[in-house]
Amino acid sequence: SASLDLAADLPSSHHLAPLLARHSTALTPRPYLATSTKMIELILLVNRQGKVRLAKWYKPEKRKDKLRITREIGSAVIKREKQKLCNFLEWKDKLIVFKRYASLFFVGVIERTDNELLMLEIIHHYVETLDGYFGNVCELDIIFNFHKAYFLLDELIIAGQLQETSKRKIIQACHAQDLQMEEGKDGKKDDKKGI
């Protein structure tokens, strides 16, 4: 039986060199896609008076440092917004990205080399998700339903990385959790009645 020589059917490597040279830029990773090692370090919601409404840390810090950092970032963001400056602020070796929606500042802290426009889009995506769940979200929704705001954020970002881009899926997951909580409450009521 004759053996097949597959290598004979392939062009030699010197024929592929011009093709690879032409397309080598397509094979190199793009900076805005190379976010696998980068991460969001902190998501912060602060009102105009500087009161923290939500803080989600993705990098471990001591409690005393967390308080100091949130105070510094909150005051820097409020001061910067009053001066009508841009939404990006270099702070120590980090980059602060923020956007004000109504009375709340949504703040993301990322590495300086990370994409600040992507972080701004993640913030906007989170606000739209909150709006979709609460229906025209306001500061009181965050205060009285903070656990749901955290749950929505946890569906969106895990370990400092964007995980879900579909607002519909995030809201569906939150509604499914609401149903489970209601079923759990109904079961406890039935237990108390002796059923």
Instruction: Report the C-alpha gap between 76 and 64 in whole angstroms.
Output: 18
Tell me the average pLDDT of the chain. 82
User: pLDDT for 61-97, tens place per residue?
Assistant: 999 999 999 999 999 999 988 888 888 999 999 999 9
Q: Are strands 94-101 and 161-162 parallel, antiparallel or unpaired?
A: unpaired
User: pLDDT for 38-58, tens place per residue?
Assistant: 789 999 999 999 999 999 999
| DSSP track, 10-34 | SPPHHHHHHHHHHHHHHHSPPTTT-
pLDDT for the residue numbered 9: 44
Which tops the pLDDT comparison, 184 or 43? 43
Which residue is it, tokens 């009645």?
193
DSSP assignment, residue 36? Answer: S
Which residue is it, tokens 């339903």?
145
pLDDT at 16 exceeding the cut of 90: no
Which tops the pLDDT comparison, 26 or 58? 58
Model confidence at 185, in pLDDT bands (50, 70, 90)?
A: confident
Q: Which of 104, 89, 120, 133 is nearest to 45 (CA)?
A: 104
Across the beta sheet with 94-101, the strand order is 52-57, 40-47, 104-111, 94-101, 88-91
Q: What is the mean pLDDT of residues 174-180?
A: 93
Q: What is the mean pLDDT of residues 10-30?
A: 44
Determine how many CB atoms are found less than 10 A away from the CB of residue 169. 12
pLDDT at 27 exceeding the cut of 50: no
pLDDT for the residue numbered 59: 92
Q: Which of 101, 110, 154 is nearest to 128 (CA)?
A: 101
